[in-house]
Amino acid sequence: MWLKKKKEDVQINLTPLIDVVFLLLIFFMVSTSFKKETKVSLTLPEANGETLDAPAQSIEVTVTKSGDIFVNGNGLVNRNIETIKTAIKQSSTDNQTPVIISADAAAPYQAVITVMDAAGQAGFNNLTLPTQKPATDDN
């Protein structure tokens, strides 16, 4: 007479799996570096004139109040004309692309002229200097 053995139900213990997943989650949360997006704040000079829309593809050069220069949001290591010219050339393969020079109203005049000169030397002749409309006092 053969005795029949009861088959045990096979169970998978999920507790160690959940622990490992939780530890991985904590590891990735702690080791992740978050990129801080900061935009350069400018106070554009004021002028009365037509409002033009920026072209879909353009190179934006920003000159801050302190004279720092950014090309398409990327800061340059120095204010040397060769550095500016290289950054502008790397931003576009076509020298017909418009270059928008956004300079703060209190930006050093020399910094703006240096950017314009670098763009000209790089072969970019379509330069735009954006402004803002003056504040109106309607009293």
Tens of pLDDT, residues 46-90: 777 666 666 678 888 999 988 899 998 888 888 899 999 999 999
CA distance 70 to 109: 16
Tens of pLDDT, residues 110-134: 999 999 999 999 998 888 888 778 7
Q: Identify the DSSP state of 12.
A: -
Q: Residue 139's pLDDT band (boundaries 50, 70, 90)? A: very low
Beta sheet of 69-71, edge-to-edge order: 74-75, 69-71, 59-63, 99-103, 127-128
